[in-house]
A and B are shown apart, each in its own frame.
Chain A
C-alpha cells in the first residue's frame, strides 16, 4: 500500500470519525428533544384536563352527546382552541372513538370531526383501558401525542382526551441546526482534504524521486543525485542519500579499481604459479623417470650380481666335481697304461699265430688244386665212358633183338659214368669251396696281420696319449683347485656387491617415491590454481550476469524515457530500416533511434568499462544492430581499413553467430564463451531488453580474465 494511499485512508478515517461524532451529538440532541416533547405533551394534556374539569366533574354520554357536567362537548370547539392558544399544537375530545371536538383540520380546511381513532392509541385506550403516549400518525402527519381515556361514573370508557404537536413543528429548530452543522462539516472536510493531498504530494514527490534514484542504484547506476526541496525529514533523507551515493560511487570506483588490480595480480600469480608448477612438474617427471630408470638399472645390476653369485657357486661346485673327476681319471689312466702294455704283448703273439695260419692255408690251397686236376681226369674218363655207352646202345639198337642184353649193359655203364660225373662235379664244387675258404682265410689272416700292426701302432699311440692325458689331468686338478679358491672369493665379492646394490636400490626407490610425491603435490597445486581460476571465472560470470541484467534494465529504462519524454515514438524505436551510411567500410548503418542512443547511453555504457575485465558493454537490437558502441571503439574514422575495423565498431551489424544469438535471446540470460584470435577467452553475457513488454534487443557485456 503506497504511502499516499495510506495517508488518504488515514484522512478518510479521521474525517469519518469527526462526521460520526457530529451525527452522534445530533442524535443525542434529537433524542433529548423527543423526550422533552413527550414531557411537554404530559403538561399539555394535564392542562386540557384542568380546562375540561373546570366545566364539570361528571362525564357522561347523554343522547349521543358527551356531557361534562352540563357542558356539551360535541361541536363545541372552545376548549381545543383554548389549548391551541395556550400551547399551540392540536387537541381533540373523542366520544367513544369518534372525534367530536377538535382543532385538527382536514386538507380542505374543515375541522376533522367525525373521524375515528385507530392504531396503537385505540388499542391502548379501548382494549386495555389505559393512557397512551408516543408518536402517532394522524391524517398522514406524524405527531407527538398523548391520549387519556374519559371514564363515566361507572368507570367505563366513554371517550378519549387527546393533545398532540406536529413533529415537524417541534423539530424545525433542530433540523435547521443540523443542516447548518452538516454544511460546516462538509466545508471543513473539503478544505482539510485538499490541504492534506497537497502537502502529502509535495512531500512524496521527493520520496518518489528518491525511490527511482534508489531503483537506478539497484540497477547499477550509482551516480545519481536527487534535488532537495525541503528541510523536513524527507529532505534530510534526500540529502543523506545524495551524500551516500556520492560516497558509495566513489568508494565503488575505488573498490573496482582495487578489485581490478587484485584480479590482475591474482591472474598473473596464477599464471606464474601455473608456469612454475609446470616447470617443476617437468623436472619432477624427469627426476621420476630418471629414478625409475635408475631403479630398473639397479634391479638389472642386482639380478646380474645374483646371477653372478649363483654362477660362481655353480662354478665352484663344478670345480670340485672336476677335481674329483680328475682324480678318478688319473686312477683310470694308470689302469689304462697297464692295460695298454698287456695289449701290446698280446698283439705280438696274435701276429705270429696269424702268420702261421696263413702259411698252413697256402699249403691247403695248393693241395686242393692238385685234387682238382685228378678229378678232371676222372671226369674225362667218365665222359668218354658215357659216350661209349651211348654208341653201344645205338649199336645194340641196330643189332635188333640180339643187341637187347647188350643195350642193358650199355645202359648200366652209362648210368655209372653219369654217377661218376655227378660225383666228380660234387668234388669240384667242394674243391672250389675249399679254395674260396682258404683264399678268404689267407686274406683274413693278411688283413688280421695288418690290423694287428695298425692296432699295435694305435695302442702305442694310446699309451702316449694316456701319458699326456694323465699329465693334463694333473694340471686340471691343480687348475680346479685354483678355480675353487678364486670362485669362493668371487662369491663373497658378488654377495657384497649385491648388498651394496640393494642399498643403492633403496635410495633410488626413495628418490622415485619422493619424485612421485612431488608430482602429486604439484598436481594438487595445479589443481588448486585451476580451481582458483575456475572460481575467478565463476565470480566473473556471476558478476557478468548481474551486470548484464543491470545493463539490460538500465537500457530498457533509458529507451523507455525516450518514449515518455516524446523524443521517439515506439515506431521510431523499433525502426528496422537500416540505412547504409555512405563511405563507410566496413558498412555502417543509421536508423531513427541511433542518434538518441549516442546522446543518452554512451556514458552509461562506458561506465561498465571501469571494470578492466569488461571488454565491451553494448546495447544491440534484435537483429544484432549496434547503434552506439563504447567510446573506446568509437575512435574517429581514419580511412585506414584495418585501423577503423578495430577502432571504430559503432553502428555496425553484428549478425555473426554469437551476435545473433545474443540479439535474439529472450531468456533471462545467455552466456556464450569463445576465444578471440589473440587467445583471450571472452565470456559474452547478454540479457534481453524489453520496451513496454515488447522484445527490443539485448544488452551484451563481454568479460575477459
Chain B
C-alpha cells in the first residue's frame, strides 16, 4: 500500500514536471541565440562519453545484424546494408585505446560522413544531441592516458561527467582509413 501511495505521488509530480517542461520549451526556443553554441551528438563507448559535431552525423540506427568480413583491421567490425548501400561499421575503441567488449542489443550505430569517408560508428547507446557553449570547451591535457591527443578537439565538463569531443575528421583522416579507401 505504501509503495502504491508513493507511486501515485510520483506520478502526480511527474505530470506536473512534464507540463512545466512543455511551457519552458516553448519559452526557451524564443530566448535561444544569446550564446554561441555548437551541437554535438553524444554517445557512450567503452564507459566513456564522447561527442561528435552534429554536422558529421547522417543518421542514428539500431544495431542491425552485422555481416562479418574476413581480413579486415580491428577497427572495422563488419559491414551493414543501409537502404541498399553497403557501409563499413567502424569501432572507435581500438583507435582510442579503449577496452573492446561484446556489443549489446541496446548498441546503436551513428552514420557519419567526414574526410570524404562515410561509415557507421558503433556506440553503446546514443544519448541525444546536446548544445555546448563554445566557451566551455577546454583543450585536452596530458592527463588522458592511452588516448591519442589529436583524436579530440577538447573536452567539456557536464553534469553527467566528462564529455570528450572527438575530432572525427582527424580520426577518419588517418592512414588506416586512407589505405583502406585506396584498397576499395
Contacts and interface: CB of A to CB of B under 8 A. Distances in A.
A116 interface: no
27 contacts: A387-B60, A387-B61, A387-B108, A390-B126, A391-B59, A391-B60, A393-B54, A393-B129, A394-B54, A394-B57, A394-B58, A394-B59, A394-B60, A394-B129, A397-B55, A397-B129, A398-B55, A408-B25, A411-B129, A412-B22, A414-B128, A415-B21, A415-B25, A419-B14, A426-B7, A430-B3, A430-B7
B10 A397 contact: no
Give the size range of A's interface with the partner.
Answer: 10 to 19
Given A397-B54, A415-B25, A390 B39 contact: no
Contacts, number: 45
B62 interface: yes
B117 interface: no
Interface string A398-424: 100000000010011011000100110
A394 B128 CA distance: 10
Interface string B3-36: 1000100100010001001100100010000000
Contacts of A23: none
Nearest to A437: B3
Nearest to A383: B62
A414 B126 CA distance: 12
Contacts of B39: 397
A434 to B, nearest CB: 9
Given A390-B126, A414-B128, A423-B14, A397 B3 contact: no
B41 interface: yes
A702 B39 CA distance: 151
Interface in B67-114: 108
B6 to A, nearest CB: 10
A433 interface: yes
A397 B58 CA distance: 10
B25 A390 contact: no
Contact of A390 (B14, B22, B129): B129
Interface in A343-366: none
Nearest to A390: B60
A425 to B, nearest CB: 12
B15 to A, nearest CB: 10
A644 to B, nearest CB: 131
A433 B25 contact: no
Given A397-B57, A426-B10, A433-B3, 15 more contacts: A387-B108, A390-B129, A391-B60, A393-B54, A394-B41, A394-B59, A394-B60, A398-B58, A408-B29, A411-B25, A411-B129, A415-B21, A419-B14, A419-B18, A430-B3
Nearest to B55: A397
A390 B61 CA distance: 10
B129 to A, nearest CB: 5
Interface of B: 3, 7, 10, 14, 18, 21-22, 25, 29, 39, 41, 54-55, 57-62, 108, 126, 128-129
A397 B7 CA distance: 38
Contacts of B54: 393-394, 397
A610 to B, nearest CB: 138
The 7 residue pairs across chains A and B that have the minimum distance between CB atoms:
A397-B54, A394-B57, A390-B60, A393-B129, A408-B29, A391-B59, A391-B60
Interface in A334-393: 387, 390-391, 393
Contacts of A415: 21, 25
Contacts of A398: 55, 58
A423 B11 CA distance: 9
Contacts of B14: 419, 422-423
Interface string A430-444: 100100000000000
Contacts of B29: 408
Contacts of A430: 3, 7
Contacts of A423: 14
Contacts of A419: 14, 18
B25 A412 contact: yes
A397 to B, nearest CB: 4
A398 B25 CA distance: 22
B41 to A, nearest CB: 7
Contacts of A387: 60-62, 108
A393 to B, nearest CB: 5
A558 to B, nearest CB: 144
Contacts of B60: 387, 390-391, 394
Contacts of A390: 60, 126, 128-129
A364 to B, nearest CB: 14
Contacts of B21: 415
Contacts of A397: 39, 54-55, 57, 129
A243 B139 CA distance: 171
A393 B60 CA distance: 10
B132 to A, nearest CB: 14
A191 B6 CA distance: 183
B10 to A, nearest CB: 7
B51 to A, nearest CB: 13
A408 B10 CA distance: 27
Nearest to B10: A426
A391 to B, nearest CB: 5
Contacts of B108: 387
B160 to A, nearest CB: 15
Looking at B7, B61, B129, the one whose CB has the most chain A CB atoms below 10 A away is B129
A370 B95 CA distance: 46
Contacts of B126: 390
A412 B19 CA distance: 12
Nearest to B106: A383
Nearest to A429: B7
A230 B169 CA distance: 193
Contacts of B129: 390, 393-394, 397, 411
A381 to B, nearest CB: 14
Contacts of B7: 426, 430
- Residue of B18, B25, B60, B126 with highest tally of chain A CB at under 10 A: B60
Nearest to B18: A419
Nearest to B39: A397
Contacts of B58: 394, 398
A398 B53 CA distance: 11
Contacts of B25: 408, 411-412, 415
A430 B10 CA distance: 12
Contacts of B61: 387
B115 to A, nearest CB: 17
A527 B130 CA distance: 133
A423 B14 CA distance: 9
A415 B3 CA distance: 26
A21 B108 CA distance: 200
A391 B3 CA distance: 38
A391 B128 CA distance: 10
A426 B14 CA distance: 11
